[in-house]
């Protein structure tokens, strides 16, 4: 735990009446890290985020965000922080999108020139130009979520906290959002803390995962480590043109199941070891592939396995 951690909690506790929502949570996040914060519903994720952002007072324990006490120095923390609550909008729904950026610029005391320059940059990267004149209430969910993230990044915060940013988005919107976040982090070095139910978000965005269970930290490590602990693997389902012998010799992939004389075969693979493209190239060089789907590991399932592995539940 270094002195300049961007997030630091020690023995953090929050009780609601008789239930303990967060139980002696200790972790720290260093500048530039991208951390996935996962757990079942009600495991304590949102409560932790509320304590990190100064919304909720801890029952006991220690919390520092950007080196500051978020309860006592909320305003200073807010200057250095960007937050997106996936299911709640922070934009002005009854005004054109452009106005939300102008207002937020004023709130963060940016001058007109830098507000405009930063807005232009984010709008270009997120391809939101055509929507600038649209009232926020008329945006699609995917457009609104991109706008929320642009709004949270307007003042170039050191730390970006995203609470379920991809919930309800279609595959393409998710993809664009993730690509943008990867690029943004690459350019600005923004620290990222992300809660999600989507394993894809974690795989593409995070280099470290925290798993929370009943308010306690059940796992803290790399994604590869998580996959190693629970065997969280993706499954490639291949529909082949004709009956095919079992695909046992694909590097990095293991046959899980073969149906109808090998017309449909299911291969599990570890994203850390190989890619869909490599597996597919290997198979299609020998057999004709008609169709494919990818089954992502279910995050609830991953969490359940962690609980099992840690001898709880």
Whole-number minimum distance, CB 274 to another protein, in Å?
Answer: 37
- Is 42 or 168 the residue whose CB approaches another protein more closely? 42
Would you say 136 and 93 are in contact if contact means Cβ atoms under 8 Å apart? yes
Nearest Cα residue to 16 out of 65, 52, 56, 61: 56
Distances (CA, A) of 104 to 54, 112, 155, 156, 193: 19, 11, 8, 12, 22
- Cα 239 to chain center, whole Å? 31
- For residues 269 and 275, give the distance between their C-alpha atoms in angstroms, rounded to a whole number: 8
Q: Which helix H or strand E contains 12, and what residues bound it?
A: strand 7-16
Nearest Cα residue to 68 out of 4, 13, 15: 4
Q: Which contacts of 99-105 are long-range, i.e. CB under 8 A and separated by 24 or more positions?
A: 100/136, 100/147, 100/151, 101/150, 101/151, 101/154, 104/151, 104/154, 104/155, 105/154, 105/155
- Is 76 or 270 the residue whose CB approaches another protein more closely? 76
Is the torsion defined by CA of 127, 129, 132, 134 positive or negative?
Answer: negative
- Is 191 or 271 the residue whose CB approaches another protein more closely? 191
Which residues lie near another protein (CB under 8 A)?
16, 41-42, 46, 50, 53-57, 74-76, 78-79, 81, 83, 85, 87-90, 92, 94-95, 99, 102-104, 106-109
- Is 99 or 220 the residue whose CB approaches another protein more closely? 99
- Is 84 or 202 the residue whose CB approaches another protein more closely? 84
- Is 17 or 186 the residue whose CB approaches another protein more closely? 17
- For residues 31 and 40, give the distance between their C-alpha atoms in angstroms, rounded to a whole number: 27
Whole-number minimum distance, CB 108 to another protein, in Å?
Answer: 6
């Amino acid at each position: 735990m270094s002195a300049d951690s961007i997030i630091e909690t020690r023995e953090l506790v929050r009780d609601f009446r008789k239930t303990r929502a967060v139980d002696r949570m200790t972790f720290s996040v260093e500048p530039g890290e991208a951390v996935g914060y996962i757990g079942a519903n009600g495991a304590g994720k949102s409560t932790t985020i509320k304590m990190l952002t100064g919304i909720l007072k801890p029952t006991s324990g220690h919390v520092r965000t950007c080196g500051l006490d978020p309860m006592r120095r909320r305003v200073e923390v807010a200057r250095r922080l960007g937050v997106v609550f996936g299911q709640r909008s922070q934009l002005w729904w009854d005004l054109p999108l452009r106005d939300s950026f102008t207002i937020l610029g004023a709130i963060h005391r940016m001058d007109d020139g830098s507000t405009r320059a930063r807005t232009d940059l984010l709008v270009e990267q997120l391809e939101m130009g055509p929507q600038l004149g649209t009232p926020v209430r008329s945006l699609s969910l995917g457009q609104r979520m991109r706008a929320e993230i642009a709004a949270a990044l307007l003042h170039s915060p050191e730390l970006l906290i995203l609470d379920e940013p991809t919930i309800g988005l279609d595959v393409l919107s998710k993809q664009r959002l993730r690509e943008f976040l990867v690029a943004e982090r690459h350019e600005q070095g923004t620290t990222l803390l992300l809660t999600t139910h989507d394993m894809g978000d974690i795989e593409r965005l995070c280099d470290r995962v925290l798993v929370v269970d009943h308010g306690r930290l059940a796992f803290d490590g790399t994604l590869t480590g998580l996959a190693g602990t629970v065997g969280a693997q993706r499954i490639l389902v291949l529909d082949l043109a004709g009956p095919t012998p079992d695909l046992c010799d694909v590097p990095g992939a293991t046959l899980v199941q073969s149906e109808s004389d090998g017309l449909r075969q299911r291969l599990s693979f570890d994203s850390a070891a190989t890619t869909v493209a490599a597996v597919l190239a290997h198979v299609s060089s020998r057999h004709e592939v008609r169709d494919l789907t990818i089954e992502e590991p279910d995050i609830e399932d991953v969490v359940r396995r962690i609980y099992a592995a840690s001898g709880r539940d």
